[in-house]
């Protein structure tokens, strides 16, 4: 018995095989890098992305043959529009970071639905407008899961799951289906949108793969990561620290009462839909996390590699009261201040490279604690421990700093990226390998648990944070 997972991230596509005990037995990866033709624009080649997925599966050879089910996990909100009859994209795919529809979102904030540029809705509108402003053509709109499944099913299935649908800006508030008013405001035909299916269960036949296995699990990357880290019960929380960072806490079957964001700045998302029942989560976002380490490496030349940040930072026991606010792209939760900027404070003649590097890691950790505080406030759950994955979870200095800033135990995922594991668990549930998701989630076993050992210094952090805010007032005034 095996489960095949295709995990399409922002820069690569992975293919992973899980066995009946939810253990990774094989994996392969192919690059799938976006391009940025101008500042603020992020595009990708949908055909090349699908090709990379097939190549990654092919790299696994016989190990990927005849799985019980296929799981699909994808970067969320990245959008493709294609011709239904030919299957050809009408333009580039637009990545979730793409900001070309910023002006449209600002206009809609005045007299239309409130949409953010990192959602799919205005991206789909822009793509359609370029080729068919009169809406005469029979086109399909989809996020990457829809695009992959359309191709894997050889044009027979146009579907998405509820977790991905919740990130488009087109889903109704109660999660029951597409919102006709929002689609109408953008001139998007409802018939072009995919059918919303359960996150676990037969959704399509992957006839492009040997043996034509069923697609039985679909999820957005962060929702899949929640499941991969066993966060399936209300009050359990995980954070993924990659280029940015997302913290998600499961809140159960009832949608949080606020329509957009809670008073602490986190927002509701669909965690999954199984057997027709929705499970909800709250998400908090940090816009700059691992990208700050990349900045140290690529732009300042203070470290030779991301791993080197731990080596350099561990050369001192504290920062010498140097503080770094990781706001290179502004601040997300809880402030949502797009005009905030990265700030380095407390420099003296005695400040050394190691102090600066450590301050960057500790600053990211404090932003992680900000996300945790917001999730606690908006969810009402105490959240007495935090599970983490992502590239930065391999950095011991960062993980220790995170435990100290949060003042809770931090459980580090055995899988650096838990996304594929979560999609595999959903696919296994959908294929009948497991009978309950909670049973599958018992496969969670942290690689490491780090207890808080130092003081949090949150008051000093908040002083530094305030000095980073409002640096570009016209951007700080924006809200979506």
Per CATH, 3-221 and 230-412+447-480 having the same topology is answered: yes
Q: In this predicted structure, what is the pLDDT of residue 440?
A: 65
Residues of the chain with pLDDT under 70: 440
Q: CA quadruple 100, 101, 104, 109: dihedral positive or negative?
A: negative
Q: In this predicted structure, what is the pLDDT of residue 269?
A: 98
- Superfamily of segment(s) 3-221: ATPase, nucleotide binding domain (3.30.420.40)
Q: In this predicted structure, what is the pLDDT of residue 442?
A: 76
Asked whether 75 and 146 are in contact (CB, 8 A), the reply is no
Q: In this predicted structure, what is the pLDDT of residue 438?
A: 78
DSSP H or E run through 8: strand 3-8
Q: In this predicted structure, what is the pLDDT of residue 111?
A: 83
Reported as a single tens digit per residue, the pLDDT across 385-417 is: 999 999 999 999 999 999 999 999 999 999 999
Q: In this predicted structure, what is the pLDDT of residue 91?
A: 98
Q: In this predicted structure, what is the pLDDT of residue 62?
A: 87
What size, in residues, is the chain?
480
Asked whether 199 and 426 are in contact (CB, 8 A), the reply is yes
DSSP 252-288: ESSPPS-SS--TTS-EEEEEEEETTEEEEEEEEEES-
- Superfamily of segment(s) 230-412+447-480: ATPase, nucleotide binding domain (3.30.420.40)
Distance CA 371, CA 373 (A): 5
Q: In this predicted structure, what is the pLDDT of residue 17?
A: 96
Structural domain spans, the chain: 3-221, 230-412+447-480
Query: Token match 């390998």: residue?
Result: 433
């Amino acid at each position: 018995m095996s489960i095949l997972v295709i995990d399409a991230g922002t820069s690569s596509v992975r293919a992973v095989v899980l066995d009946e005990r939810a253990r990774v037995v094989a994996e392969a990866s192919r690059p799938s890098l976006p391009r940025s033709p101008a500042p603020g624009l992020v595009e990708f080649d949908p055909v090349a992305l699908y090709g990379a997925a097939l190549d990654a599966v092919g790299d696994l050879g016989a190990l990927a043959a005849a799985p019980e089910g296929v799981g699909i996990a994808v970067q969320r909100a990245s959008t493709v529009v294609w011709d239904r009859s030919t299957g050809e994209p009408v333009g580039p795919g637009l990545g979730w970071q793409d900001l070309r529809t910023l002006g449209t979102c600002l206009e809609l904030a005045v007299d239309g639905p409130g949409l953010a540029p990192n959602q799919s809705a205005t991206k789909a509108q822009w793509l359609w407008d370029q080729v068919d402003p009169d809406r005469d053509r029979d086109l399909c709109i989809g996020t990457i899961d829809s695009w992959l499944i359309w191709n894997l099913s050889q044009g027979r299935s146009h579907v998405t799951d509820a977790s991905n649908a919740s990130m488009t800006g087109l889903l109704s508030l109660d999660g029951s289906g597409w919102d006709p008013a929002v689609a109408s405001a953008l001139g998007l035909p409802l018939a072009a949108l995919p059918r919303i299916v359960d996150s676990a269960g037969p959704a399509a036949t992957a006839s492009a793969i040997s043996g034509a296995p069923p697609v039985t699990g679909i999820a957005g990357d962060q929702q899949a990561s929640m499941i991969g880290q066993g966060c399936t019960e209300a009050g359990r929380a995980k954070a993924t620290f990659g280029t940015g960072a997302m913290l998600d806490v499961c809140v159960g079957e009832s949608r949080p009462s606020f329509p957009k964001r809670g008073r602490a700045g986190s927002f509701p998302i669909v965690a999954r839909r199984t057997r027709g029942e929705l499970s909800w989560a709250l998400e908090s976002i940090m816009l700059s996390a691992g990208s700050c380490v990349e900045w140290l490496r690529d732009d300042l030349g203070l470290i030779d590699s991301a791993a080197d940040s731990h080596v350099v930072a561990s050369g001192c026991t504290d920062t010498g009261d140097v503080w770094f606010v990781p706001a290179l792209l502004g601040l997300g939760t809880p402030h949502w201040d797009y005009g905030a900027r990265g700030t380095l404070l407390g420099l003296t003649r005695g400040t050394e490279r190691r102090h600066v590097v450590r301050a960057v890691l500790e600053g990211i950790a404090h932003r992680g604690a900000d996300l945790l505080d917001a999730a606690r406030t908006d969810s009402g759950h105490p959240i007495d421990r935090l599970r983490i994955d992502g590239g930065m979870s391999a950095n011991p200095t960062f993980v220790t700093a995170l435990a100290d800033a949060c003042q809770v135990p931090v459980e580090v995922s055995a899988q650096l990226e838990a996304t594929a594991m979560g999609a595999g668990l959903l696919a296994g549930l959908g294929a009948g390998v497991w009978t309950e998701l909670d049973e599958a989630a018992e496969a969670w076993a942290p690689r490491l648990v780090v207890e808080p050992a130092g003081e949090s210094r949150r008051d000093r952090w908040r002083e530094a944070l305030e000095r980073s805010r409002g640096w570009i007032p016209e951007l700080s005034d924006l809200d979506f």
